[in-house]
Structure 1
Amino acid sequence: MNSRLCNCRFPSSIEVAHYRGRIPDLVSCRCGEDAAGSVNPWEWCVEDNTNVIVIDERDIIFHPRRSNGTAIARGSRPLKAGMVHCWETLVMTPLVGTDVMVGIGTDKVNLGEFISKFTSALGGNSDSWGYSYSGKIQHGGKMSTYGRKFGQGCLIGVYLDRARGHLEFYLNRRSLGVAYTNVPTNADVNIYPMVSSTAFRTGIRLVNSMSLDDTLLLRSFQVAAKQPEVRAELRKVPGLMGILRSTWLATMFQDSTYAYA
């Protein structure tokens, strides 16, 4: 059974199907968006010739009229090598159909390749990595058991360490473990955030995103985030909490108590 991040009201599948206005207007939830230091260094984008995705600021609506296949959206900027990138997406609508996936992909991914085919798009080849709403992950065409299923009301976190080549997913700010350690670290490979869906009127919102340099300070904070006694001492250091708030997303992903948020 899917567990939600919060108890906010979300629209039913019938409401979504029959509503003629903006799908995001049916969602009042803003949980997770008010943390200090949250930034959005990139936006969603699609190919110019697509008519199966609507971008509404931070929201994506897949297949607004009907679904005949699989649509893919990606971030507007590549995730630079040598940095740590993390972001969260909120599932606004009920999820049904062949697959809905969150993940990453290189610039070799053809966003319109599966426009007339229902498939698990992300991870279908060696150029992308995906986490499915079925709870499985996929890369190189190989689907593997990974974690819990996700659905409406869930917050999906992605933690990409391009300094080490690690990719990890989070469900409602709880780690599901490192999914892959084979993400390219070299700067000549452009990698983007991606989301794919086969379902009619799937709504996905970018809640938070952050990109940080791979520094000793960041790594130290991440280690400290796992140790409650160290966190208590850090709070006593004048001015340090301000620095922690500027890296809250990367450190929060290492800490199930969210002490810095």
Structure 2
Amino acid sequence: MGQKVESANTFSNFLPDNWVWDTECKPREVTLSADQTEAYFFIDPVTESIGTAGVRGNRGFQDGRHFWEIIFLEPPAGTSVMVGVGTQQAPLFLGNYQYVNLIGVNKESWGLSYKGTICHAGKSSQYCEPFYNKRTTIGCFLDIQGGTLTFFKNGIDLGVAFWGMDLVGEPLYPLISSTAAETELALGKRICSSRYLSLQELCCITLRRNVPASLVDCLPLPKPICQLVKNVYY
């Protein structure tokens, strides 16, 4: 795991963001608050937990650095309660009593379960200690410039969970999911970097997305530039 640092220090130069949960694509098993910042899962007795449901943010991110918090208004329970990110193709519902880690069930999403496991492409591995307490706050730091997804627990950096987020090639949306009835999750702080990327940085990021590291030296660029690209962006 990475060094344990407070998120407040890490994001001191970020500016507020205002995205909320998307009402257009959510399954009926998820109910949103009037301001779309809180999500309630399987609260209708008629549809009480018949599978796994998720909801995504109403804005996707394809560049920059973004941080948001998910607050567990009730203690997590059941097979899976998750936070993470995914493309627009990431599934938001699996019925027929399929209780799974929905965020990470395929290659379209990357997630963290309250049981401390991270999931992607149907595979999972232990990442941190489980968290069971009410009011636990999980921070998600999506650094597309650096290609990483990092999670925080109650303000403490848990280390990089996923690499290669800059190589996805399409917008990534915040996601939450649950298998458990009456799961309640709320959005907390939402911030993003105020610094615009320079033309050089954008070019280097484009190279990383499209050129293998082994071929960088073959590019028709000055050797110092090739070395910079390899040292900083690979």
TM-score, normalised with respect to structure 2: 0.71
Please point out which of 109, 121, 132 is paired with 2:90.
109
Please point out which of 59, 66, 69 is paired with 2:38.
59
Q: Which amino acid aligns with 1:39?
A: P
Offset from partner CA, 1:77-108 (integer Å, 9 cap, x none): 11132x00000111001211110000000011
Kept in 2: contact 1:63–1:199 (CA 8 A)? yes
Number of aligned pairs? Answer: 181
**Aligned mates of 1:203, 1:166 — CA distance in 2:** 27
Alpha-carbon spacing, 1:113–1:214, altered in 2? closer, same or farther (3 Å):
farther
Q: What does residue 53 of structure 2 align with?
A: 71
Please point out which of 156, 178, 183 is paired with 1:197.
178
Q: Say yes or no: does 1:159 pair with 2:141.
A: yes
Matched residue SS, 1:184: helix
Q: What does residue 27 of structure 2 align with?
A: 50
Q: Say yes or no: does 1:179 pair with 2:161.
A: yes
After TM superposition, give the deviation of residue 113 of structure 1 in Å: 3.7
Q: Structure 1 stretches (4+) deviating beyond 6 angstroms?
A: none
Matched residue SS, 1:44: coil
Alpha-carbon spacing, 1:39–1:49, altered in 2? closer, same or farther (3 Å):
closer
Please point out which of 126, 134, 137 is paired with 2:115.
134
Q: What does residue 212 of structure 1 align with?
A: 193
**Aligned mates of 1:115, 1:93 — CA distance in 2:** 25
After TM superposition, give the deviation of residue 197 of structure 1 in Å: 0.3
Percent identity between the aligned chains?
34
Q: What does residue 170 of structure 1 align with?
A: 152
**Aligned mates of 1:140, 1:45 — CA distance in 2:** 24
Kept in 2: contact 1:88–1:206 (CA 8 A)? yes
Q: Which amino acid aligns with 2:59?
A: R
Question: What's the C-alpha RMSD, in Å, of the aligned pairs?
Answer: 2.4
**Aligned mates of 1:195, 1:103 — CA distance in 2:** 6
Kept in 2: contact 1:47–1:111 (CA 8 A)? no
In structure 1, stretches of 5+ residues that fail to align are 1-34, 217-261
Q: What does residue 78 of structure 2 align with?
A: 97
In structure 2, stretches of 5+ residues that fail to align are 1-11, 198-234
After TM superposition, give the deviation of residue 39 of structure 1 in Å: 2.8
Kept in 1: contact 2:26–2:54 (CA 8 A)? no
After TM superposition, give the deviation of residue 41 of structure 1 in Å: 2.2
Kept in 2: contact 1:121–1:196 (CA 8 A)? yes
Alpha-carbon spacing, 1:214–1:161, altered in 2? closer, same or farther (3 Å):
farther
**Aligned mates of 2:78, 2:26 — CA distance in 1:** 24
After TM superposition, give the deviation of residue 53 of structure 1 in Å: 0.6
Alpha-carbon spacing, 1:115–1:47, altered in 2? closer, same or farther (3 Å):
farther
